[in-house]
Amino acid sequence: MKIRHAFLFLSMLLLLTAAAPRTEKPVPQQTSGWSFAGCFSPTRSLPCYDTYSHNGAYWICKECGTTKQPSENRCRPLSSYQLANGAWCS
């Protein structure tokens, strides 16, 4: 009788663990949708910064030529005021 109960218990346990929804950690996605727009200076003087367009906005990152992988954590959005009063570097 004890074997039957142990077998029944293990079977139920197996069914419960097999039917449980699995929650996996999200895998970080590679940055996409970033387009290099050029080098820009928000103050019309040096230094110039790498500038990218992303999601309809311009984002300023590190000094020109040094940004490896732009992202919203590594860059900041440019305001319309900065775009109107800054200068694109050649």
Phi, psi of 6 (to 5 degrees): -65, -40
Model-level pTM?
Answer: 0.63
8-12, 28-32, 56-60, 67-71: the lowest-pLDDT one: 28-32
In a domain, 19, yes or no: no
> What pLDDT sits at residue 45?
87
**pLDDT tens, position by position, 46-90:** 899 999 999 999 999 999 999 999 999 999 999 999 999 999 997
Is there a domain that residue 53 lies in? yes
Rounded CA Rg of the chain: 27
Strand-pair partners of 63:
49
For residue 78, being part of any structural domain is answered with yes
Domain that holds residue 64: 35-88
Task: Using the Cα atoms of residue 51, residue 52, residue 55 and residue 56 in order, give the sign of their dihedral.
Answer: positive
Number of domains the chain contains: 1
Predicted local distance difference test score (pLDDT) of residue 46: 87
What does the angle CA 55 – CA 26 – CA 28 come to, to the nearest 5 degrees? 50
Tell whether 13 is covered by a domain.
no
Asked if 45 and 85 count as a contact pair (C-beta separation under 8 A), the reply is no
Q: Is residue 82 part of a domain?
A: yes
Residue 21 included in any domain: no
What integer is the mean pLDDT of 7-18?
A: 58
Look at residue 14 and tell me if it is in a domain.
no
